[in-house]
Amino acid sequence: MIAQAREVREASGVSQRTLSEQAGLTQSHISQIESGKMEPGLSSFIDLTRALDLEVMLVPKKLVPAVLGLVKAQATPDMHIHAGQPNDKRFARAERLVKKLKQLYGSSADLDRVEDTMRFLRRVNLSDQEMQLVRELIARLERYQASPKAAPVVRDIAQNLQRLRNSIAHGVSTEPKAAYSLDDGGGDA
């Protein structure tokens, strides 16, 4: 939570000094908290997060997926909702790569979709399996960046990222469902 608060502060362009004035804590105290040298007390942490326009809240464990879904659905880019991904460098590299491809080949709907989806995925908690898929798609994009065959590859990457995004945002399974099942639970067969 401390790392997320620091990321929100940095993404918002707020200095530790400004945050210290808004939260009523010393800049030194905030620096020690952010560097991990000091564990904040609950009241200090709440003051710090509220100064960043965040709210600390206890949620029943069963309702966490629903709350996360609501937060994701209502989030706007200026909210800086961030899941504290250790893979931020990968996302930054992917964003630079998309920018480079746009400079080389011009903008396209597929590149725009890759860019938008990466921006969304960067803000959410991804499972190891989901992050592995993102890594593979980024590596594939890097391999084909200077290829004349890049357009269909970019389209496929955009579609795969979009499916991942939809499964996260809407809780849709990425696995295809069977058209029918032999076991309908009736037991009369």
CATH number, residue 42: 1.10.260.40
Rounded CA-CA distance 125/123 in Å is: 7
Asked if the structure places residue 70 within a domain, the reply is no
Please give the full DSSP string across 72-120, using - where no structure is assigned.
HHH--GGG------TTHHHHHHHHHHHHHHHHHH---HHHHHHHHHHHH
pLDDT tens for each residue of 42-68: 988 998 999 988 888 888 888 877 887
**How many domains, in total, are found in the chain?**
2
What does the DSSP 8-state code read for residue 13? Answer: T
99 domain residue, yes or no = yes
Residue 92 and residue 159 in one domain: yes
How many C-beta neighbours within 10 Å does residue 47 have?
Answer: 16
pLDDT at 145: 73
pTM above 0.75, yes or no: no
Q: Is residue 179 included in any domain, yes or no?
A: no
- pLDDT at 31 (0 to 100): 92
Is residue 76 a part of any domain in this protein? no
Considering the domain boundaries, does residue 166 fall inside one? yes
Same domain, 94 and 38: no
Q: Is residue 120 part of a domain?
A: yes
47/92 same-domain check: no
* Intervals of the chain under pLDDT 70: 75-88, 146-148, 171-189
Residue 189, C-beta contacts closer than 8 angstroms, at least 6 positions apart:
182
The answer to whether position 143 is within a domain reads yes
- Same-domain pairing of 94 and 26: no
29 assigned to some structural domain: yes
Give residue 117's domain range.
88-170
Q: Report how far residue 78's alpha carbon sits from residue 97's, in angstroms, rounded to the nearest whole number.
A: 23
- pLDDT of 184 reads 52
